[in-house]
Amino acid sequence: MPDENSVAVLGTGTMGAAMARNLSAAGLRVRAWNRTRARAEPLTGHGITVTDEAAEAVRGADTVLTSLHDGPAVLAAMRAAASGLAEGTLWIQASTVGPDGTAPLVEFADTQGLCFLDAPVLGTKAPAEAGQLTVLVSGGSGSSLVRERAAPVLDAIGAKTLWLGEQPGAASRLKLVVNNWVLTLINGTAETLALAEGLGVEAADFLGAVAGGPLDVPYLQAKARLILEGAYDASFLLSGARKDAELITGAARKAGVRLDATPAIAERLRRAEAQGHGADDAAASFFASYESSDYGRGDARGSA
């Protein structure tokens, strides 16, 4: 018999670990699984049980929360957990997988008799740790009972929940639209600072020129600070940003929409990833402006 106060978290990267801690802090009983157990082990200090197997994590849980890199990783984890899943388990799928990635997950949920919520989140490391994410949700057949059942989990991980209809996929489509804007800001910041450097313009002069005006946004200031300080501890992994840019490009192509900037951003992120910046913050796309990267050799900037 599932325990209505029990949640299984599959995937304990930056976002999944933060959500697991907040779920435990909210008084829910949390079991966590990660493909590399060592990454999940610190969660034991927050009253969370870490398991060796995904099936062990989900067994007896009323709710399963997935937070993994992409659609195939989510599906692989849920298949591994299948023997522990009970019919009727609520599955809150918080990874960014896109609408095409959502379809096989819905199929799996239907086969297993799970109640599936398409629930990607808006926010990065700091909002996740503070429980201040915005959760986009679709699915659950619009049932008020499903909303009530999901509320303790959604309230623990986020400050706001947007319900977007009965059909899974609506939330994932909105997530791609939002992330297209996020990637535009990150890439625009990185390229603009590289251009300023190349033209001999002080970055502080550029930032001061736009500060407080209609061209200023908090994200510009935040990402510019990372670049100028050479501080690339990831709040939004560059490899994840590259994956999202590819998802957006594919979804747009399928919808008959021609995007020019986003495919170029995907290529820029691939170059930075090839330079060794995949585990850095996406602001490290700055290095793609240069032929090579001095990353790791004491120089926070690329070298022309």
Q: Are residues 184 and 85 in the same domain?
A: no
143 plus 201 within the same structural domain: no
Mean pLDDT of the chain: 94
Pair (239, 274) in one structural domain? yes
Is residue 29 located within the same domain as residue 136? yes
Domain total for the chain? 2
We report the CATH number of the domain holding residue 213 as: 1.10.1040.10
Residue of 44, 41, 81 lying closest to 63 (CA atoms) = 81
d(CA 253, CA 149): 37
Domain final residue pick, 165, 196, 214: 165
| Domain match, 182 and 145 both | no
Q: CATH no. for residue 28? A: 3.40.50.720
Residue 267 structural domain: 172-303
Identify the band that residue 293 occupies on the pLDDT scale cut at 50, 70 and 90.
low
User: What are the pLDDT digits (tens) for 143-187?
Assistant: 788 999 999 999 999 999 999 999 999 999 999 999 999 999 999
* Residue in the block written with tokens 């599936």: 116
pLDDT of residue 294: 55
Q: Is residue 120 domain-shared with residue 26, that is, in the same domain?
A: yes
Q: Does 153 share its domain with 274?
A: no
Say how far apart CA 231 and CA 253 lie, in whole Å.
35
Question: 103, 133, 165 — which closes off a domain?
Answer: 165
Same domain, 11 and 157: yes
Question: In terms of DSSP bridges, do strands 292-293 and 158-163 run parallel, antiparallel, or are they unpaired?
Answer: unpaired
Residue 303: band (very low, low, confident or very high) from pLDDT cuts 50, 70, 90: very low
Residues 37, 158 share a domain = yes
Whether residues 58 and 73 share a domain: the answer is: yes
